[in-house]
Amino acid sequence: MQLPRWLLVLILVLIPMAFLINLNVQPFIDDEGNRATVALEMLWSGNFITPTLHGDYYYNKPPLWNWILALSIWLHGGASEWVVRLPAVLALFGFAGTVYHYFRKHLSFEQAALAALMLLTCGRIIFWESLLGLIDLAFSWTIFTLIMVFYHESEKERWGRMFLFTYLLMAIGFMLKGLPAIAFQGLTLLLVLQFQKAWKQLFSWVHIGSGLLAVGLLAAYYAVYHQYHSLETVFQVLFVESGKRTAVAYGWLDTLKHIFNFPLELFYHFLPWTALLLLLVNQKNRLAIRENQFIRFCLYALGLNLIIYWLSPNFYPRYILMLLPLGFVSLVKIVPDDDQEKNKLYLALEVIFGIVLLGAAVITAVAPLAEDTQMVPYRWLKSTFLALGILLLLFPYYRLPRSRLFLLVAGLLIGRIGLDLLAIPPRTSEKSIGEGIKVSATQLADRWQDRELFIFAATQMEPTTSFYLQNQLNQIVPRRKVGELSTEEDYIFNPDQYAPSLFFPPSDSVKARHSISDYYYVARLKTTNAEEIKAGTLRPPAGF
Q: Where are the domains of the chain?
A: 135-231, 344-428, 433-535
Mean pLDDT of 167-189: 95
pLDDT at 544 over 50: no
pLDDT at 262 over 70: yes
Q: Under a CB-based contact definition with an 8 Å cutoff, are residues 108 and 292 in contact?
A: no
pLDDT at position 543 is 44
Q: Is the pTM of this model over 0.75?
A: yes
pLDDT at position 143 is 98
Q: Under a CB-based contact definition with an 8 Å cutoff, are residues 334 and 263 in contact?
A: no
∠ at Cα 408 (403, 414), nearest 5°? 130
More confident call, 315 vs 443: 443
Mean pLDDT of 37-53: 95
pLDDT at position 246 is 54
Closest CA to 413 of 105, 4, 9, 78: 9
Alpha carbon 400 to its chain centroid, in Å, reads 35
Per-chain mean pLDDT for the chain: 91
CA distance 492 to 238: 28
pLDDT at 339 over 70: no
pLDDT at 239 over 80: no
pLDDT at position 253 is 79
Please report which confidence band the pLDDT of residue 117 belongs to, taking 50, 70 and 90 as the band edges.
very high
pLDDT at 438 over 80: yes
Query: What percent of the chain has pLDDT above 70?
Result: 96
Mean pLDDT of 46-74: 93
CA distance 118 to 270: 9
pLDDT at position 540 is 65
pLDDT at 199 over 90: yes
Q: Under a CB-based contact definition with an 8 Å cutoff, are residues 520 and 465 in contact?
A: yes
pLDDT at 338 over 80: no
pLDDT at 508 over 70: yes
**Residues 6+ away with beta carbon under 8 Å from 287:** none
Q: Under a CB-based contact definition with an 8 Å cutoff, are residues 138 and 87 in contact?
A: yes
Residue-wise pLDDT tens digits, 367-406: 999 888 888 999 999 999 999 999 999 999 889 888 999 9
pLDDT at 542 over 60: no
Please report which confidence band the pLDDT of residue 234 belongs to, taking 50, 70 and 90 as the band edges.
confident
Q: Which of 78-92, 129-143, 260-274 has the lowest mean pLDDT?
A: 260-274
pLDDT at 479 over 90: yes
CA distance readout (Å), 238 to 154, 172, 283, 425 = 31, 16, 45, 37
